[in-house]
A and B are shown apart, each in its own frame.
Chain A
Amino acid sequence: MTEHAVGIHKLCRNFGQIKALDNVSFTVKRQSIFGLLGPNGAGKTTLFSIAANFIHADSGQVEILGVDVQQIAQLQGRLSILPQDALFQRNVPILEQLVFFRLLDGRTRSEAVGEVKKTLEMVGLGEFMNRRVHSLSHGMIKRLGVAQAFLGNPEVILLDEPTSGLDPANARQIRDLIRELQSRATILISSHNLAEIQELCDHVAILDQGKLVAAGSVAEITRAGRKIDVRLSRPLLYHEITRLSAPQGIRHITDSGAGRYTFHINVSALEAGENEAEAMDQIIRQFLRDLLDMDLIPREFREGTSLEEHFLKVTGKGGD
Chain B
Amino acid sequence: MSFRELQLRHLRLISLYGARYVIRGGAGLVYIMLVLSCGLITAHIILLPVEQEAKEKTGVELTDKEMLDHLVEVARPAVQWMLGGKTKNERPVMERSAGNEKEDPEIRWAAYLLDEKPALLSAVILIMFYFTPFLVALGSFNQYSGDIQSKGLRYQLLRTSRTNIYFGRFLAAVFYTVFVNAILIIIIVLYLGLKLDIYAWSALARWGLWGILALIAVSIPYIAFCGWISSMIDSPFGSMTISSIVISAIPLFALFGRATWKPASSICYALPWGIQNYILHPDWTWVLGSLAACGGYTILFLLLGHHHFTKRDL
Contact = CB atoms under 8 A, between A and B. Distances in A.
Interface of A: 49, 52-56, 72-73, 75-77, 79-81, 83, 85-92, 97, 100-101, 103-106, 148
A54 B218 CA distance: 34
A88 B24 CA distance: 13
- Residue of B13, B25, B313 with most chain A CB atoms under a 10 A cut-off: B313
B26 A91 contact: yes
Nearest to B25: A91
- Which secondary structure characterizes the binding site on chain B? helix
A101 B156 contact: yes
B158 A75 contact: yes
A89 B152 contact: yes
A105 B159 contact: yes
B3 to A, nearest CB: 12
Contact of A92 (B9, B10, B21): B21
Interface in B1-58: 5, 9-10, 13-14, 17, 20-21, 24-26
A90 B146 CA distance: 12
A56 B156 contact: no
Interface string B132-163: 00000000000000000011101111111100
Given A76-B158, A81-B154, A89-B24, 19 more contacts: A52-B158, A56-B313, A73-B5, A76-B159, A80-B158, A85-B151, A86-B152, A89-B25, A89-B152, A91-B25, A92-B20, A97-B155, A100-B13, A101-B156, A101-B159, A104-B10, A104-B14, A104-B159, A148-B155
B154 A52 contact: yes
Interface residues of B, number: 25
25 contacts: A52-B157, A52-B158, A54-B313, A54-B314, A56-B311, A72-B158, A73-B5, A73-B161, A75-B158, A76-B159, A77-B159, A79-B158, A81-B154, A83-B154, A85-B151, A86-B151, A86-B155, A89-B21, A89-B25, A92-B21, A92-B24, A97-B155, A100-B13, A101-B155, A106-B9
Contacts of A72: 157-158, 161
Contacts of A54: 154, 157, 313-314
A92 B19 CA distance: 12
